[in-house]
A = this chain, B = another copy of it.
Protein backbone atom coordinates (compact mmCIF):
# COMPACT_ATOMS: atom_id res chain seq x y z
CA UNK A 1 0.00 0.00 0.00
CA UNK A 2 2.89 2.31 0.78
CA UNK A 3 3.71 2.91 -2.84
CA UNK A 4 0.25 3.96 -3.84
CA UNK A 5 -0.82 7.57 -3.66
CA UNK A 6 -3.65 8.21 -1.22
CA UNK A 7 -6.88 10.05 -1.81
CA UNK A 8 -8.51 8.06 0.96
CA UNK A 9 -9.57 11.01 3.05
CA UNK A 10 -8.50 14.42 4.32
CA UNK A 11 -7.21 13.22 7.64
CA UNK A 12 -4.56 10.76 6.64
CA UNK A 13 -1.51 12.81 7.56
CA UNK A 14 -0.45 14.84 10.57
CA UNK A 15 -0.86 18.59 10.40
CA UNK A 16 0.19 21.56 8.37
CA UNK A 17 3.87 22.41 9.02
CA UNK A 18 2.96 25.79 10.44
CA UNK A 19 0.71 24.20 13.01
CA UNK A 20 3.37 21.71 13.98
CA UNK A 21 5.78 24.56 14.39
CA UNK A 22 3.37 26.49 16.58
CA UNK A 23 2.83 23.46 18.77
CA UNK A 24 6.56 22.86 19.04
CA UNK A 25 7.38 26.44 19.91
CA UNK A 26 4.85 26.62 22.72
CA UNK A 27 5.42 23.11 23.99
CA UNK A 28 7.33 23.96 27.15
CA UNK A 29 5.10 26.78 28.33
CA UNK A 30 2.87 26.33 31.35
CA UNK A 31 -0.74 27.38 30.94
CA UNK A 32 -4.09 26.89 32.56
CA UNK A 33 -6.08 23.86 31.39
CA UNK A 34 -9.42 23.24 29.74
CA UNK A 35 -9.25 25.98 27.14
CA UNK A 36 -8.94 28.88 29.55
CA UNK A 37 -5.40 29.69 28.41
CA UNK A 38 -4.30 32.74 26.45
CA UNK A 39 -3.89 30.87 23.15
CA UNK A 40 -7.45 29.64 23.22
CA UNK A 41 -8.58 33.10 24.18
CA UNK A 42 -6.70 34.60 21.25
CA UNK A 43 -8.08 31.99 18.88
CA UNK A 44 -11.61 32.71 20.05
CA UNK A 45 -11.06 36.39 19.39
CA UNK A 46 -9.66 35.74 15.91
CA UNK A 47 -12.63 33.56 15.02
CA UNK A 48 -15.15 36.06 16.32
CA UNK A 49 -13.44 38.71 14.24
CA UNK A 50 -13.45 36.52 11.16
CA UNK A 51 -17.17 35.95 11.73
CA UNK A 52 -17.92 39.61 12.48
CA UNK A 53 -19.66 38.21 15.52
CA UNK A 54 -18.22 39.87 18.62
CA UNK A 55 -20.96 38.45 20.84
CA UNK A 56 -20.66 34.86 19.70
CA UNK A 57 -19.37 32.17 22.01
CA UNK A 58 -16.60 30.02 20.57
CA UNK A 59 -15.63 26.63 21.94
CA UNK A 60 -13.06 24.11 20.80
CA UNK A 61 -13.66 20.39 20.74
CA UNK A 62 -11.56 17.54 19.45
CA UNK A 63 -13.81 15.77 16.96
CA UNK A 64 -16.84 16.14 14.76
CA UNK A 65 -19.10 13.49 16.23
CA UNK A 66 -18.37 14.97 19.64
CA UNK A 67 -19.46 18.37 18.35
CA UNK A 68 -22.62 17.04 16.75
CA UNK A 69 -23.77 15.15 19.80
CA UNK A 70 -22.93 17.96 22.20
CA UNK A 71 -24.67 20.62 20.13
CA UNK A 72 -27.73 18.40 19.69
CA UNK A 73 -27.91 17.62 23.39
CA UNK A 74 -27.67 21.31 24.19
CA UNK A 75 -30.15 22.61 21.64
CA UNK A 76 -33.02 20.13 21.71
CA UNK A 77 -35.62 19.56 24.38
CA UNK A 78 -36.14 15.89 25.26
CA UNK A 79 -39.14 15.39 22.98
CA UNK A 80 -37.54 16.97 19.94
CA UNK A 81 -35.62 15.55 17.01
CA UNK A 82 -33.19 16.91 14.47
CA UNK A 83 -33.98 17.22 10.78
CA UNK A 84 -31.27 15.88 8.50
CA UNK A 85 -30.70 14.54 5.01
CA UNK A 86 -30.63 10.78 4.68
CA UNK A 87 -26.93 11.10 3.85
CA UNK A 88 -26.30 13.35 6.87
CA UNK A 89 -23.30 12.31 8.90
CA UNK A 90 -25.40 12.21 12.08
CA UNK A 91 -27.83 9.85 10.37
CA UNK A 92 -25.33 7.42 8.98
CA UNK A 93 -21.82 7.49 10.34
CA UNK A 94 -21.90 8.34 14.00
CA UNK A 95 -22.93 4.95 15.36
CA UNK A 96 -26.11 6.37 16.82
CA UNK A 97 -24.45 9.22 18.71
CA UNK A 98 -27.51 11.43 18.36
CA UNK A 99 -29.90 8.73 19.50
CA UNK A 100 -27.58 8.03 22.43
CA UNK A 101 -28.34 11.56 23.58
CA UNK A 102 -32.03 10.62 23.41
CA UNK A 103 -33.02 12.29 20.15
CA UNK A 104 -34.36 11.02 16.85
CA UNK A 105 -32.89 12.00 13.51
CA UNK A 106 -35.82 13.04 11.35
CA UNK A 107 -34.91 12.22 7.79
CA UNK A 108 -36.20 14.74 5.28
CA UNK A 109 -36.01 14.26 1.52
CA UNK A 110 -32.78 15.56 0.00
CA UNK A 111 -30.86 15.67 -3.28
CA UNK A 112 -27.12 15.34 -3.67
CA UNK A 113 -26.85 15.50 0.09
CA UNK A 114 -28.64 18.86 0.19
CA UNK A 115 -31.81 19.68 2.08
CA UNK A 116 -34.15 22.26 0.61
CA UNK A 117 -36.18 24.86 2.45
CA UNK A 118 -39.20 23.51 0.65
CA UNK A 119 -38.73 19.94 1.81
CA UNK A 120 -38.17 21.06 5.39
CA UNK A 121 -41.24 23.23 5.23
CA UNK A 122 -43.34 20.39 3.85
CA UNK A 123 -42.12 18.08 6.60
CA UNK A 124 -42.97 20.58 9.34
CA UNK A 125 -46.32 21.41 7.84
CA UNK A 126 -47.25 17.73 7.75
CA UNK A 127 -46.13 17.34 11.33
CA UNK A 128 -48.14 20.24 12.70
CA UNK A 129 -51.16 19.36 10.55
CA UNK A 130 -51.20 15.82 11.89
CA UNK A 131 -53.83 15.43 14.61
CA UNK A 132 -51.53 12.92 16.31
CA UNK A 133 -48.56 15.29 16.25
CA UNK A 134 -48.15 15.17 20.01
CA UNK A 135 -47.45 11.43 19.68
CA UNK A 136 -44.70 12.11 17.19
CA UNK A 137 -41.19 13.51 17.45
CA UNK A 138 -41.32 17.28 17.21
CA UNK A 139 -38.74 18.81 14.89
CA UNK A 140 -36.48 21.11 16.92
CA UNK A 141 -33.37 21.71 14.85
CA UNK A 142 -32.13 21.56 11.27
CA UNK A 143 -28.79 19.89 10.66
CA UNK A 144 -26.95 20.85 7.49
CA UNK A 145 -23.39 20.09 6.53
CA UNK A 146 -21.35 22.49 4.43
CA UNK A 147 -19.82 20.95 2.37
CA UNK A 148 -22.23 18.03 2.48
CA UNK A 149 -21.25 14.40 2.80
CA UNK A 150 -21.47 14.24 -1.02
CA UNK A 151 -19.15 17.19 -1.46
CA UNK A 152 -21.92 19.56 -2.58
CA UNK A 153 -22.57 23.02 -1.19
CA UNK A 154 -25.43 25.24 -0.15
CA UNK A 155 -25.60 28.68 -1.72
CA UNK A 156 -26.53 31.91 -0.02
CA UNK A 157 -30.07 31.79 -1.32
CA UNK A 158 -30.53 28.20 -0.09
CA UNK A 159 -29.37 29.12 3.35
CA UNK A 160 -31.51 32.22 3.52
CA UNK A 161 -34.59 30.23 2.56
CA UNK A 162 -33.79 27.57 5.12
CA UNK A 163 -33.35 30.25 7.76
CA UNK A 164 -36.82 31.55 6.95
CA UNK A 165 -38.31 28.09 7.30
CA UNK A 166 -36.44 27.62 10.55
CA UNK A 167 -37.91 30.83 11.91
CA UNK A 168 -41.36 29.95 10.72
CA UNK A 169 -41.38 26.63 12.52
CA UNK A 170 -39.30 27.57 15.53
CA UNK A 171 -36.31 25.45 14.59
CA UNK A 172 -32.68 26.06 15.49
CA UNK A 173 -30.32 25.98 12.53
CA UNK A 174 -27.01 24.18 12.92
CA UNK A 175 -24.39 23.88 10.21
CA UNK A 176 -21.77 21.14 10.57
CA UNK A 177 -18.66 22.65 9.08
CA UNK A 178 -16.35 19.67 9.32
CA UNK A 179 -15.27 20.56 5.77
CA UNK A 180 -16.11 24.25 5.94
CA UNK A 181 -12.70 25.36 4.65
CA UNK A 182 -13.39 23.70 1.33
CA UNK A 183 -16.84 25.30 1.18
CA UNK A 184 -15.55 28.77 2.05
CA UNK A 185 -13.13 28.52 -0.83
CA UNK A 186 -16.02 28.33 -3.28
CA UNK A 187 -16.82 32.00 -3.52
CA UNK A 188 -19.80 31.45 -5.80
CA UNK A 189 -21.77 30.13 -2.81
CA UNK A 190 -21.91 33.62 -1.39
CA UNK A 191 -21.55 32.11 2.07
CA UNK A 192 -18.66 33.31 4.15
CA UNK A 193 -18.14 33.20 7.91
CA UNK A 194 -20.12 36.39 8.67
CA UNK A 195 -23.03 35.00 6.66
CA UNK A 196 -22.94 31.79 8.65
CA UNK A 197 -22.77 33.72 11.90
CA UNK A 198 -25.77 35.75 10.82
CA UNK A 199 -27.94 32.93 9.52
CA UNK A 200 -27.10 30.03 11.84
CA UNK A 201 -27.77 29.62 15.53
CA UNK A 202 -24.69 27.51 15.85
CA UNK A 203 -22.11 26.18 13.42
CA UNK A 204 -18.74 24.50 13.47
CA UNK A 205 -15.48 25.31 11.76
CA UNK A 206 -13.65 22.08 11.15
CA UNK A 207 -9.94 21.80 11.75
CA UNK A 208 -9.31 18.05 11.49
CA UNK A 209 -9.97 18.02 7.76
CA UNK A 210 -8.23 21.30 7.18
CA UNK A 211 -4.68 20.89 8.30
CA UNK A 212 -5.03 20.62 12.08
CA UNK A 213 -4.02 17.56 14.06
CA UNK A 214 -7.59 17.63 15.30
CA UNK A 215 -10.16 20.16 16.39
CA UNK A 216 -13.55 21.63 15.64
CA UNK A 217 -14.50 25.15 16.65
CA UNK A 218 -18.13 25.64 17.64
CA UNK A 219 -19.55 29.11 17.14
CA UNK A 220 -22.76 29.85 19.03
CA UNK A 221 -24.53 33.02 18.05
CA UNK A 222 -27.93 32.46 19.60
CA UNK A 223 -27.91 33.67 23.18
CA UNK A 224 -30.22 31.04 24.61
CA UNK A 225 -27.86 28.28 23.46
CA UNK A 226 -24.78 29.73 25.09
CA UNK A 227 -25.45 28.97 28.70
CA UNK A 228 -23.41 26.31 30.44
CA UNK A 229 -22.09 24.91 27.18
CA UNK A 230 -18.75 24.16 28.81
CA UNK A 231 -20.47 22.00 31.43
CA UNK A 232 -22.20 20.11 28.67
CA UNK A 233 -18.87 19.67 26.85
CA UNK A 234 -17.34 18.31 30.04
CA UNK A 235 -20.25 15.95 30.58
CA UNK A 236 -19.99 14.54 27.07
CA UNK A 237 -16.25 14.03 27.31
CA UNK A 238 -15.41 16.94 25.03
CA UNK A 239 -13.43 19.29 27.27
CA UNK A 240 -9.75 18.72 26.50
CA UNK A 241 -7.42 18.93 29.51
CA UNK A 242 -4.62 20.53 27.52
CA UNK A 243 -7.16 22.71 25.78
CA UNK A 244 -4.48 25.08 24.58
CA UNK A 245 -3.60 22.52 21.89
CA UNK A 246 -6.83 23.51 20.20
CA UNK A 247 -6.26 27.20 20.83
CA UNK A 248 -2.76 27.12 19.39
CA UNK A 249 -3.93 25.35 16.25
CA UNK A 250 -6.90 27.63 15.61
CA UNK A 251 -4.83 30.69 16.34
CA UNK A 252 -2.47 29.57 13.62
CA UNK A 253 -5.29 28.77 11.20
CA UNK A 254 -6.93 32.16 11.69
CA UNK A 255 -3.93 34.41 12.27
CA UNK A 256 -3.30 35.31 8.66
CA UNK A 257 -5.64 33.41 6.43
CA UNK A 258 -4.15 29.92 6.62
CA UNK A 259 -7.59 28.36 7.03
CA UNK A 260 -8.87 29.83 3.79
CA UNK A 261 -5.63 29.11 2.03
CA UNK A 262 -5.85 25.43 2.89
CA UNK A 263 -9.45 25.32 1.70
CA UNK A 264 -8.40 26.81 -1.61
CA UNK A 265 -5.54 24.35 -1.97
CA UNK A 266 -7.83 21.41 -1.28
CA UNK A 267 -10.27 22.60 -3.91
CA UNK A 268 -7.57 23.37 -6.45
CA UNK A 269 -6.21 19.88 -6.10
CA UNK A 270 -9.69 18.40 -6.34
CA UNK A 271 -10.43 20.44 -9.44
CA UNK A 272 -7.25 19.24 -11.08
CA UNK A 273 -8.11 15.68 -10.18
CA UNK A 274 -11.67 16.05 -11.39
CA UNK A 275 -10.55 17.43 -14.72
CA UNK A 276 -8.29 14.43 -15.26
CA UNK A 277 -11.21 12.12 -14.56
CA UNK A 278 -13.47 14.09 -16.85
CA UNK A 279 -10.90 14.14 -19.60
CA UNK A 280 -11.06 10.34 -19.52
CA UNK A 281 -14.83 10.34 -19.69
CA UNK A 282 -15.67 9.52 -16.10
CA UNK A 283 -18.89 10.75 -14.63
CA UNK A 284 -19.61 11.84 -11.08
CA UNK A 285 -22.29 10.71 -8.68
CA UNK A 286 -22.61 14.24 -7.31
CA UNK A 287 -21.38 17.52 -8.81
CA UNK A 288 -17.62 17.87 -8.14
CA UNK A 289 -17.26 21.28 -6.53
CA UNK A 290 -15.30 20.78 -3.33
CA UNK A 291 -12.51 18.56 -2.02
CA UNK A 292 -14.48 15.33 -2.24
CA UNK A 293 -15.04 13.69 -5.62
CA UNK A 294 -17.50 10.86 -6.10
CA UNK A 295 -16.42 9.15 -9.29
CA UNK A 296 -18.47 6.48 -11.01
CA UNK A 297 -16.51 3.57 -12.41
CA UNK A 298 -17.06 -0.01 -13.36
CA UNK A 299 -15.44 -2.96 -11.67
CA UNK A 300 -12.48 -3.14 -14.02
CA UNK A 301 -11.75 0.58 -13.75
CA UNK A 302 -11.94 0.39 -9.99
CA UNK A 303 -9.38 -2.40 -9.97
CA UNK A 304 -7.04 -0.45 -12.16
CA UNK A 305 -7.19 2.62 -9.96
CA UNK A 306 -6.72 0.51 -6.86
CA UNK A 307 -3.33 -0.52 -8.15
CA UNK A 308 -2.14 3.04 -8.04
CA UNK A 309 -4.17 4.75 -5.35
CA UNK A 310 -5.91 4.38 -2.04
CA UNK A 311 -9.51 5.61 -2.10
CA UNK A 312 -12.85 4.49 -0.70
CA UNK A 313 -15.64 2.73 -2.47
CA UNK A 314 -18.82 4.17 -1.02
CA UNK A 315 -21.27 1.76 -2.56
CA UNK A 316 -22.32 -0.15 -5.64
CA UNK A 317 -25.20 1.11 -7.75
CA UNK A 318 -27.83 -1.26 -9.06
CA UNK A 319 -26.27 -1.12 -12.52
CA UNK A 320 -23.01 -2.37 -11.06
CA UNK A 321 -21.16 0.94 -11.15
CA UNK A 322 -19.07 1.85 -8.14
CA UNK A 323 -19.22 5.17 -6.37
CA UNK A 324 -15.59 5.81 -5.49
CA UNK A 325 -14.59 8.71 -3.30
CA UNK A 326 -11.35 10.63 -3.91
CA UNK A 327 -10.49 13.28 -1.35
CA UNK A 328 -7.81 15.95 -1.39
CA UNK A 329 -6.26 17.56 1.64
CA UNK A 330 -3.86 20.30 2.68
CA UNK A 331 -1.04 17.91 1.92
CA UNK A 332 -2.16 16.71 -1.49
CA UNK A 333 0.47 17.51 -4.11
CA UNK A 334 0.11 17.82 -7.85
CA UNK A 335 2.71 15.08 -8.15
CA UNK A 336 0.27 12.67 -6.59
CA UNK A 337 -2.32 13.52 -9.18
CA UNK A 338 0.28 13.03 -11.86
CA UNK A 339 1.08 9.65 -10.39
CA UNK A 340 -2.54 8.64 -10.57
CA UNK A 341 -2.88 9.89 -14.12
CA UNK A 342 0.54 9.46 -15.71
CA UNK A 343 1.00 11.24 -18.99
Q: Which residues of A contact B (CB under 8 A)?
A: 6, 8-9, 11-15, 17, 20, 23-24, 26-33, 62-66, 69-70, 73-74, 77-79, 81, 92-97, 99-105, 131-132, 134-138, 208-209, 213-214, 228, 230-232, 234-242, 245, 310, 312, 331
Contact = CB atoms under 8 A, between A and B. Distances in A.
Contact of A235 (B27, B78, B234): B78
Nearest to A1: B32
Interface SS of A by simple majority = loop
Contacts of A239: 63, 65, 135
**Tally of this chain's copies:** 4
7 contacts: A9-B33, A13-B28, A63-B237, A96-B137, A96-B235, A138-B228, A237-B237
B27 A234 contact: no
A230 B30 contact: no
4 nearest A-B residue pairs (beta carbon): A66-B237, A14-B27, A95-B235, A95-B234
Contacts of A232: 78-79, 95
Contacts of A94: 135, 234-235
Contact of A234 (B6, B105, B134): B134
Contact of A93 (B24, B132, B245): B132
Nearest to A140: B228
